[in-house]
């Protein structure tokens, strides 16, 4: 394959030949024989010209070029069929071949075609903070273990500027109360707290991590800076609702909702929820946004604040009608702390201070069922303050302990002091209806913050 600049140089040298690698090598061989038969005073100059010719022919094409004439002659659908079969490890390099390849690999059609041929693999990404910045851990079912996320450099895709320079990843609270939204192979970390030195992006911002290129980029912050809010993805858009204002000492719960349009990088408001919810969770089932549980708080009355109360219900939002409807009760009896979806069923993990319960809600039959609780090694205590997250891989629910302590190992050793047992992973098979123990999160990072499943 002959790059475009090679053809330009050959025209300047008044050399013409068919565009094919065999013809090029043959022409170069003829040129070499002619050089050997030339006079001595022209020999050195001809050799230099030949070296320039070969160098121009075999250098990589510039990014502004679509590649060689042979590549340009391929129909777009044939080129797409070739690129979708590249291994995941080669996608990052393929994007730097030319602008045409990059646009194809970033198009939604490429992801859909790759999904059709079975080229996507489910991976669990867990994000956390360490002393040097943002860390990650990756879990693949093929290997059945965690690959400790190396400190991937927080490089922005635009301008190649470090995101840490603006967002202050050295701040251990940067990922506190964030929510994760997944769009194809891109992970959106919504509600990131900038560092103390950041004055460019306001109280919170949105980060996007590309699992193919392994790069971070900045995205527009939410219209209303919030924490402990519900979040989900419907129709290629990110929906958030509820929570509480960042920096608000009253921690008054919110009714506000908004959505993010990735193509335009903008947030826009949605109709308010029927009631205030703080610490609520969000999932999407059949195009409906379910905002589950949470707390509601009253305004300050003089010097006293009325206590928080549980919101034992869930609100439903239909983006097609742009309206909320059907507030449904929750029979869990506690505070829902994690949830995930398998098919048309929502699985909820509920906390009762000293124990956990597990529930299943069938959205089609509108039926509830209590499931055997996760087999925690030892009972959770009120002072543990553990945080769990639920994600779905296939037909299995992964219950991941992101932080907190479970006093199991030290109790068995006869000691009574509190110990740290972080990173517990339990797996519930929704088909066999059985629990199993998974590989614990690596201890490389102590403050894991959020996790998500990406088909990459």
pLDDT at 135: 77
Map residue 22 onto helix, strand or coil.
helix
Structure confidence by residue, pLDDT tens digits, 118-167: 888 889 998 887 665 677 888 888 888 888 764 444 444 444 344 444 44
The CATH number of the domain holding residue 426 is: 2.120.10.80
- Laid out side by side, the sheet with 335-342 consists of 335-342, 345-351, 356-362, 367-371
Q: pTM of the predicted model, to two decimals?
A: 0.76
Q: Which of 79, 70, 30, 22 is nearest to 50 (CA)?
A: 30
Do residue 9 and residue 114 come from a single domain?
Answer: no
Counted domains in the chain: 3
The pairing of beta strand 226-227 with beta strand 396-403: unpaired
What DSSP element (H or E) covers 449?
strand 447-455
Stretches in the chain below the pLDDT threshold 70: 1-72, 130-133, 149-173, 194-203, 248-251, 297-308, 377-385, 404-422, 444-447
Based on the fold, state whether residues 112 and 126 are members of the same structural domain: no
Do 80 and 53 lie in one domain? The reply is no
Residue 272: CB atoms within 10 Å: 14
- 395 and 297 within one domain: yes
The answer on 373 and 351 residing in a single domain is yes
Same domain, 19 and 83: no
The pLDDT of residue 5 is 38
**Domain-ending residue, one of 65, 97, 120:** 120
Beta carbons within 10 angstroms of residue 138's beta carbon: 18
Phi/psi at 188 (5° precision)? -100, 120
For residue 126, which of 427, 434, 425, 430 has the smallest C-alpha distance? 425
**Is there a single domain that holds both residue 158 and residue 90?**
no
Indicate whether 247 and 361 sit together in one domain: yes
Taking the C-alpha atoms of residue 106 and residue 206, their distance in angstroms, rounded to an integer, is 20
Instruction: Write the DSSP assignment of 308-332 as a string of letters.
Output: PEE--EEEEEETTTTEEEEEEE-TT
Last residue of a domain, one of 55, 85, 120: 120
Q: Is 177 left (phi over 0), alpha (psi -120 to 50) or beta?
A: left
User: Distance (Å, rounded) from C-alpha 254 to C-alpha 223?
Assistant: 13
Query: Phi then psi for 78, rounded to 5 degrees?
Result: -70, -40
Question: End of a domain among 87, 120, 153?
Answer: 120
Contact 297, 305 (CB under 8 A): yes
Domain of 31 in residue numbering reads as 1-73
Residues 292 and 369 in one domain: yes
Rounded Cα distance between 163 and 264, Å, is 20
- Let me know whether 32 and 168 are in one domain: no
My answer on whether 279 and 371 are in the same domain is: yes
pLDDT tens-digit map of 256-312:
999 999 999 999 999 999 999 999 999 999 999 999 998 876 444 444 445 567 788
Burial of 298: CB neighbours in 10 Å, binned 0-12, 13-18, 19+: middle
CB 218 within 8 A of CB 209: no
Running DSSP on this structure, what letter comes out for residue 277?
B
Burial bucket for residue 144 (CB in 10 Å: 0-12, 13-18, 19+): exposed
Count the helices and strands in the chain (H runs, E runs): 10, 30
Residue indicated by tokens 């039926």: 367
Q: Are 132 and 114 members of one domain?
A: no
């Amino acid at each position: 394959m002959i790059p475009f600049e090679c053809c330009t140089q050959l025209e300047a040298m008044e050399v013409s030949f068919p565009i094919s690698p065999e013809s090029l090598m043959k022409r170069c061989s003829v040129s070499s024989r002619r050089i050997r038969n030339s006079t001595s005073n022209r020999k050195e100059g001809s050799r230099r010209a030949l070296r320039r010719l070969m160098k121009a022919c075999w250098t990589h094409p510039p990014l502004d070029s679509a590649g060689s004439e042979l590549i340009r002659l391929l129909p777009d659908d044939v080129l797409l069929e070739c690129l979708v079969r590249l291994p995941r490890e080669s996608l990052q390099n393929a994007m730097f071949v030319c602008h045409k390849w990059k646009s194809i690999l970033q198009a939604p059609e490429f992801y859909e075609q790759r999904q059709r041929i079975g080229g996507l693999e489910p991976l669990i990404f867990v994000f956390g903070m360490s002393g040097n910045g943002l860390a990650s851990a990756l879990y693949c079912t093929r290997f059945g273990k965690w690959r400790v996320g190396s400190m991937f450099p927080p490089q922005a895709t635009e301008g190649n500027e470090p995101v840490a320079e603006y967002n202050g990843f050295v701040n251990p609270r940067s990922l506190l109360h964030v929510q994760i939204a997944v769009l194809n192979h891109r992970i959106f970390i919504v509600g990131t707290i900038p560092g103390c030195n950041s004055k460019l992006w306001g109280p919170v911002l949105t980060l996007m991590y590309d699992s193919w290129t392994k790069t971070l980029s900045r995205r527009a912050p939410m219209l209303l800076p919030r924490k402990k809010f519900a979040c989900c993805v419907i129709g290629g858009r990110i929906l958030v609702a509820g929570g509480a204002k960042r920096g608000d000492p009253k921690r008054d719960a919110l009714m506000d909702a908004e959505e993010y349009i990735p193509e335009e990088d903008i947030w826009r408001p949605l109709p308010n929820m029927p009631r205030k919810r703080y610490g609520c969770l969000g999932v999407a089932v059949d195009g409906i946004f379910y905002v589950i549980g949470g707390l509601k708080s009253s305004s300050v009355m003089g010097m006293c604040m009325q206590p928080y109360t549980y919101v034992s219900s869930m609100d439903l939002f239909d983006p097609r009608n742009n309206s909320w409807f059907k507030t449904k009760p929750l029979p869990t009896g506690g505070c829902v702390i994690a949830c995930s979806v398998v098919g048309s069923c929502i699985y909820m993990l509920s906390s009762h201070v000293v124990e956990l319960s597990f529930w299943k809600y069938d959205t089609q039959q509108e039926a509830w069922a209590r499931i055997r609780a996760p087999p925690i090694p030892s009972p959770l205590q009120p002072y543990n303050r553990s945080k769990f997250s639920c994600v779905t891989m296939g037909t299995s629910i992964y219950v991941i302990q992101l932080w907190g302590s479970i006093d199991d190992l030290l109790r068995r050793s006869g000691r009574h002091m509190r110990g740290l047992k972080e990173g517990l992973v339990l797996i519930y098979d929704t088909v066999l209806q059985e629990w199993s123990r998974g590989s614990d999160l690596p201890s490389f990072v102590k403050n894991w913050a959020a996790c998500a499943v990406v088909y990459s």
